A and B are shown apart, each in its own frame.
Chain A
Amino acid sequence: MSNHNTTDKVSFGFWAYLMSDAVLFAGLFATYAVLQGQVFGGYGIGDIVDIPFVAVESVLLLASSFTIGLALLAARHGKRALALSALLITLALGLGFLGMEVHEFAALIGEGQGPDKSAFLSAFFTLLGTHGLHVALGSLWMVVLMAHIAFKGLTEGVLRKLTCLALFWHFLDVIWIFIFTIVYMLGAL
């Protein structure tokens, strides 16, 4: 490790954080799997799943993962305007995803099927809410980083932060794949 520069060390440290975050999500998935059947007279997962809705949500998140990759590439080639516009698109897609999730949550709570209704709904809201919170914090980070790029330019430090943000965003995509399959697709059957 002695010849590794700062960027390598930072990205490894950030990677270690992501791996621990993955373990946190594993705990939430295990909880969800155990409590899935405990509906206590409320909605089950079958009553919640709307396949076209979830498909659109997934496409938004996958597309945002692609555009942040483009932003990182543009930034590494010193194309500031291109990087900023790719980040702006990523942010819009991320916020679109969040909007859909908030809409889903609000609709459920409005129907009296909030997280206090049953053990299943608690686990559902916790798992999806934790993922959503990550997306929200990632979006905030993106806004700050866009200001950095706009005012400071593509310095080495900014590039390092952008590399970490891109890793974070792709990681959230990976977590979503598991939510998509375990919660929605297998739940709809």
Chain B
Amino acid sequence: MRALTHYIIGFALSLVLTLVPAAFVWLHTTGEHSPSMHVQLPWVLVIFALTQLLVQLYFFLHVGDEEKPRWNVMALCFAVFIAAVLVGGTLWIMQNLGHEQQAQLPFIENTISAEASND
């Protein structure tokens, strides 16, 4: 019975945590909104998603339910670490690359036009 209530609470929370941000975005894109909301809303959405993640992990995937030593939690932490390095590292490098390219663009254009005038 306790397990059933667990699933029902998890389901109710996950529905709320999905439909509320969807409603926010829906109102934001269809109606009037202030510029400050444009800055705040992405963070609100991220917070909703992270809460949703915790709800799913706790109520559905039963993370933390196992006895010690908690191998599942350790594997999860390792996967989260690898994912963070992968995503964070990719974005970092690709953003830097984008800046470099933009910085080099005038130089390349100048070189090309200089070579063209030499011919």
Are B86 and A23 closer than 8 Å at their CB atoms?
Answer: yes
Are A20 and B79 closer than 8 Å at their CB atoms?
Answer: yes
Residues of chain A within 8 A of B53, CB atoms compared = 174, 177
A19 on interface, CB distance cutoff 8 Å:
yes
Residue of A51, A63, A73 touching B26 (CB-CB under 8 A): A51
Could you tell me the distance in whole angstroms from the C-beta of A76 to the nearest C-beta in chain B? 8
Residue of B11, B25, B45, B46 touching A66 (CB-CB under 8 A): B11
A58 on interface, CB distance cutoff 8 Å:
yes
Are B90 and A30 closer than 8 Å at their CB atoms?
Answer: yes
Given contacts A26-B83, A62-B14, A177-B56, contact A73 B7 (CB under 8 A): yes
Are B94 and A185 closer than 8 Å at their CB atoms?
Answer: no
Are A12 and B46 closer than 8 Å at their CB atoms?
Answer: no
Residue of A19, A52, A62, A174 touching B11 (CB-CB under 8 A): A62
Given contacts A15-B72, A22-B83, A69-B60, contact A51 B22 (CB under 8 A): yes
B112 on interface, CB distance cutoff 8 Å:
no
Count of residues in B whose CB is under 8 Å from the partner chain? 42
Interface residues of B in 1-46 (CB under 8 A from A): 3-4, 7-8, 10-11, 14-15, 18-19, 21-22, 25-26, 28-29, 38, 41-42, 45-46
Residue of B18, B61, B75, B82 touching A26 (CB-CB under 8 A): B82
Cα–Cα, bound, A163→B114 (Å) = 68
A29, closest chain B residue (CB): B87
Are B3 and A189 closer than 8 Å at their CB atoms?
Answer: no
Could you tell me the distance in whole angstroms from the C-beta of B96 to the nearest C-beta in chain A? 12
Are B14 and A170 closer than 8 Å at their CB atoms?
Answer: no
Residues of chain A within 8 A of B94, CB atoms compared = 34
Are B75 and A16 closer than 8 Å at their CB atoms?
Answer: yes
Given contacts A59-B15, A188-B29, contact A178 B49 (CB under 8 A): yes
Residues of chain B within 8 A of A181, CB atoms compared = 21, 45-46, 48-49
Cα–Cα, bound, A52→B23 (Å) = 9
Cα–Cα, bound, A69→B102 (Å) = 51
Cα–Cα, bound, A27→B10 (Å) = 28
B82, closest chain A residue (CB): A23
Could you tell me the distance in whole angstroms from the C-beta of B64 to the nearest C-beta in chain A? 13
Cα–Cα, bound, A12→B70 (Å) = 10
Could you tell me the distance in whole angstroms from the C-beta of B94 to the nearest C-beta in chain A? 5
Could you tell me the distance in whole angstroms from the C-beta of B75 to the nearest C-beta in chain A? 5
Are B90 and A52 closer than 8 Å at their CB atoms?
Answer: no
A residues near B (Cβ < 8 Å) are 1, 12, 15-16, 19-20, 22-23, 26-27, 29-31, 33-34, 51-52, 54-55, 58-59, 62-63, 65-66, 69-70, 73, 167, 170-171, 173-174, 177-178, 180-182, 185-186, 188-189
Q: List 8 A-B contacts (CB under 8 A).
A: A15-B75, A26-B83, A58-B22, A62-B14, A62-B18, A69-B60, A170-B61, A174-B61
* Additional pairs, 15, CB under 8 Å, beyond known A69-B60, A174-B53: A16-B75, A19-B76, A19-B78, A23-B86, A31-B90, A33-B90, A34-B90, A52-B26, A58-B18, A73-B3, A73-B7, A174-B61, A177-B52, A178-B49, A181-B49
